[in-house]
Amino acid sequence: MHGVISAGHPETAKAGATILKQGGNAVDAAVAASFASFIAESSLVNIGGGGIAQLYNPSTKQPVVYDFFSTMPGLNGSRDLANIDFRQIIIDFGSAQQPFYIGRASAAVPGVVAGLCQMATEAGKLPLSKTLLPAIQLAKQGATVTASSAYVMELLEPILTDTPPIAQIYTPQGRLPKVGEKLYFSDLAKTMAQIGQNGADLFYRGAVAQKIVTDQTLHGGLLTKTDLASYHVISQTPISVSYRGYTILLPPPASVGGVLIAFALHVLAQIPLSTMTHNSFEHLRVLTEVMRLTNISRPEWAEMYQQTQTTDTITSKEAVAEFLSLARVERYQTKLLQILAGDSPWLEPKPSPGPSNTTHISVAGANGMLVTITTSAGENAGFVIDDTGVMLNNMLGEIDLHPNGFHQLPAGQRLTTMMCPVVVLKDGEPILAVGSGGSNRIRSAILQLLSNVIDFNLPLDEAVNASRIHFEAGITQLEGGISPTVADKFEAFGYKINRWPKQNMFFGGTHAVARSDSGSQLWTAVGDKRRGGTIEIV
């Protein structure tokens, strides 16, 4: 057995599996799958986005988080906001409409190429040129449209057809492709082949960088030569949380998700969930109130983190320690017990979701090496860079990432994200890797997955695909599959609920890999059905 992989599209997983068969390790497979996802899942992610990954190497027992999320552009540039390409697009979700902003000035500095290439160089076994071959071949031969990707493309049609070059990719026959048809990325195949030969330097200092900067300069963008040349990946030690005898390793800032899930686990730890029936009212009420308290704590974290960006005396590590301090957590633990005993909850603040278009890949190698990667490009900025096939993110057009207004952050500052690739250890040995797409639902999806495995000892397939809840803005979202009787009890207790008729990608996509059994050296994988999850076992 060479390893297992869980991902959001069959061709994404197949690319990683191909590399495992060719002698690559889990890092090689994860990098191969990520580049393939820019083709197979192009409506969710692209080569101009950002991401966060976590790697656990069993030979060194040293976990590391690679932060390659986007940064604010404009270094050594003039921020002339009066003449930028920055336009509103309305996306119709059926029950609601939501504005997004696209165009050249919606693009933050892309980090995903730098991150993947650095991971491959530092921890992979194969040459990058070989690792990228499956993605290159997929781009040439075409990626098959699945039901999940067709649904997302239909939602994002105004963006994916905004300019003629991008419309030519997504509507080559004058319409979006149907399920089973293919999308082709011949220009991007050439660019990826060049990256395979030259590494990330091509994208940040070489020919592709020059074309990105020229396009930005000519068409009202903010990205500069300095932005690309100075971009760097941040390697960090993960946040470590002890939860019922397990060690949960979570990404530190710029991941908001890692900090908030750590907080939720600390608050939840005092409640003996294993004595409750899974997805009963008693169980889901506890989760609802933990989610509420986490939402309430979030502005406090935002204030602490902001201080790390404006002063040399407070580091992100110190801010995390303060936020998760025993005295502070105990105040919320006490309030949780009071709420469950009948007290009124504290007032929840206005929610601040991030980009919803994310995807996740988890890989376990034969030697127990784990890699878990989440990437995002927002919704896509709506254009293509010259003849490179490169599309960029629209992170600067995400309203909720910029509560103080668009284009207000200082150039070079890293944006924050809810992305949260997680590794779980038992007795010092890795047993699980998971992450999720799904905006603010990332943290509620991962929290429930972890609890399903640890508190309820559910098999991985059940833990991933069990119906979930999400609490935000005073409403408990109850996914289809949760008993109507449970929903009735929520209403009887005065909760405002929304009953979903069936499971939905709104609730995230927790693609996971785990040890088959306690003490086993074999691994299993499960893809979340909500987001077209698929697996490969090699």
The backbone region for 59, taken as left when phi is positive above 0, alpha when psi lies in -120 to 50, beta otherwise, is alpha
The DSSP 8-state label assigned to residue 395 in this structure reads: G
Cα–Cα distance for residue pair 534/368, rounded to 1 Å: 20
The two tokens of residue 141 are 């031969």
Coil, strand or helix at 43 = coil
The DSSP 8-state label assigned to residue 255 in this structure reads: B
Residue the block writes with tokens 């530190």: 252
Residues 6+ apart with CB under 8 A from 167: 160, 161
- The H or E element that residue 538 is part of is none
> Side chain identity at 260, as an amino acid letter?
L
Decide: 406 and 334 in contact? Cβ < 8 Å: no
The catalytic residue among 12, 131, 358, 375 is: 358
Active site residue 358: yes
The two tokens of residue 48 are 């101009």
- For helices 26-40 and 10-21, give the axis angle rounded to 10 degrees: 150
The two tokens of residue 253 are 């800032």
Cα–Cα distance for residue pair 258/246, rounded to 1 Å: 16
Cα–Cα distance for residue pair 248/423, rounded to 1 Å: 6
- The H or E element that residue 526 is part of is strand 523-526
Coil, strand or helix at 480 = coil
Counting every residue, how long is the chain? 538
Query: What is the DSSP annotation of 330-382?
Result: HHHHHHHHHHHTTPPPPPPPPP----S-EEEEEEEETTS-EEEEEEE-TT--S
Residues 6+ apart with CB under 8 A from 268: 286, 287, 290, 447, 451
Cα–Cα distance for residue pair 454/425, rounded to 1 Å: 11
> Side chain identity at 40, as an amino acid letter?
A
Question: What is the phi/psi pair of residue 470, to 5°?
Answer: -150, 130
Residue the block writes with tokens 């709104």: 506
> Side chain identity at 8, as an amino acid letter?
G
- The H or E element that residue 321 is part of is helix 316-323
> 383 vs 46, 103, 522, CA distance in Å?
12, 7, 44
The DSSP 8-state label assigned to residue 22 in this structure reads: T
The number of CA neighbours under 13 Å toward the Cβ of 78 is 4
Supply the Cα-derived Rg of the chain in whole angstroms. Answer: 22
Residues taking part in catalysis: 358
